[in-house]
Structure 1
Amino acid sequence: MAAGDSGMPDQRRTSAVSVVRIRGRALPDGEWIDLYADGDRWTTDPVQNAELVAEGWVLPGLVDAHTHPGAEAPGQPLDEELLRVDLGRHAEHGVTLIRAPGLAGEPPSWFGTDPDLPRAVHAGPWIAQHGQFFADWGRRTTHADLPEVAATQAARTGWAKVIADWLPGDAPLPVDVLRAVVAAVHAVGGRVAVHTQHGAGGAAAVAAGVDSVEHGMHLDPALLHRMAEQGTALTPTLSVINGASQRLRDTADSPRRRWALGGAAAHGPLVAAAAEAGVTLLAGTDSRPHGRVADEVRALVAAGVRPHVALGAASWTARDYLGLPGLVPGAPADAVVYPDDPRQHLDRLDRPGAVVLRGRLVRAAAG
Structure 2
Amino acid sequence: MVIRIRGRALPHGEHVDLYADGDRWTTDPVQNADLVAEGWLLPGLVDAHTHPGAAAAGDPLDHAVLRDHLRQHVDAGVTVIRAPGLAGEPPPWFGVDPDTPRAWHAGPWLAQHGQFIDGWGRRADHAELPALAAAQAARTGWAKVIGDWSSDGEPVPLDVLSAVVRAVHAVGGRVAVHTQQTAGGEVAVLAGADSVEHGMSLDPDLLTRMAEQGTALTPTLSVMARSVPEVRGRPDGPGRTWFLRGAQAHGSLVAAAAEAGVRVLAGTDSMPHGGIVEEVRALAGAGMRPHDALAAASWDARAYLGLPGLEPGAPADAVVYAEDPRSDLDQLAHPIAVILRGLPVRVTRR
* TM-score > 0.5, shorter chain as reference: yes
Matched residues in 1 for 2:204 and 2:221: separation? 16
Match of 1:253 among 236, 239, 246: 236
1:221-247 deviation digits (Å, cap 9, x = unpaired):
000000000000000000001111122
SS at 1:275's partner residue?
helix
Matched residues in 2 for 1:241 and 1:72: separation? 19
AA at the equivalent of 1:74: A
Matched residues in 1 for 2:30 and 2:79: separation? 23
Matched residues in 1 for 2:63 and 2:7: separation? 37
Match of 1:284 among 244, 261, 267: 267
AA at the equivalent of 1:136: G
AA at the equivalent of 2:285: A
TM-score norm. by structure 1 comes to: 0.94
1:348 Cα shift?
2.4
1:44 Cα shift?
0.3
TM-score norm. by structure 2 comes to: 0.99
Match of 2:208 among 218, 225, 229: 225
* 2:246 corresponding residue in structure 1: 263
2:176 matches 1:201: no
* Conserved 8 A contact 1:91-1:117: yes
2:59 matches 1:59: no
2:153 matches 1:186: no
AA at the equivalent of 2:315: P
Matched residues in 1 for 2:319 and 2:9: separation? 10
Matched residues in 2 for 1:292 and 1:28: separation? 22
1:61-102 deviation digits (Å, cap 9, x = unpaired):
000000000101111000100100100000001000000000
2:206 matches 1:210: no
Matched residues in 2 for 1:225 and 1:128: separation? 28
AA at the equivalent of 2:59: Q
SS at 2:302's partner residue?
helix
AA at the equivalent of 1:46: P
1:345 Cα shift?
1.3
Give the length in aligned residue pairs: 350
Match of 1:39 among 14, 19, 22: 22
Match of 2:32 among 49, 64, 83: 49
Matched residues in 2 for 1:279 and 1:167: separation? 25
1:144-201 deviation digits (Å, cap 9, x = unpaired):
1100000000000000000000012211001111110000000000000000000010
2:233 matches 1:243: no
SS at 1:227's partner residue?
helix
2:292 matches 1:309: yes
Matched residues in 1 for 2:113 and 2:279: separation? 32
* Conserved 8 A contact 2:336-2:349: no
2:4 matches 1:21: yes
1:366 Cα shift?
4.6
* Conserved 8 A contact 1:292-1:350: no
SS at 2:148's partner residue?
coil
1:255-313 deviation digits (Å, cap 9, x = unpaired):
11100000001100000000000000000000210001010000011110110000000
* 2:138 corresponding residue in structure 1: 155
SS at 2:300's partner residue?
helix
Provide the identity percentage.
71
Matched residues in 2 for 1:287 and 1:76: separation? 15
AA at the equivalent of 1:170: G
Match of 1:110 among 76, 83, 93: 93
* 1:72 corresponding residue in structure 2: 55
**RMSD of the TM alignment (CA)?**
0.8
1:120-163 deviation digits (Å, cap 9, x = unpaired):
00000000000000011000001111000000000000000000
Runs of 4+ in 1 over 6 A off after TM superposition: none
1:205 Cα shift?
0.5
AA at the equivalent of 1:197: Q
Matched residues in 1 for 2:230 and 2:40: separation? 37
* 1:97 corresponding residue in structure 2: 80
Matched residues in 2 for 1:265 and 1:177: separation? 31
Question: Structure 1: which 5+ runs fail to align?
Answer: 1-17
1:324-363 matched pairs, under 5 angstroms = 324-363=307-346
* Conserved 8 A contact 1:185-1:192: yes
Question: Structure 2: which 5+ runs fail to align?
Answer: none
AA at the equivalent of 1:63: V
2:217 matches 1:234: yes
Larger RCO (CA under 8 A, 6+ residues apart) = 1
1:250 Cα shift?
2.0
* 1:11 corresponding residue in structure 2: none
Matched residues in 1 for 2:19 and 2:124: separation? 49
* Conserved 8 A contact 1:355-1:363: yes
Matched residues in 1 for 2:314 and 2:176: separation? 26
2:111 matches 1:128: yes
2:251 matches 1:273: no
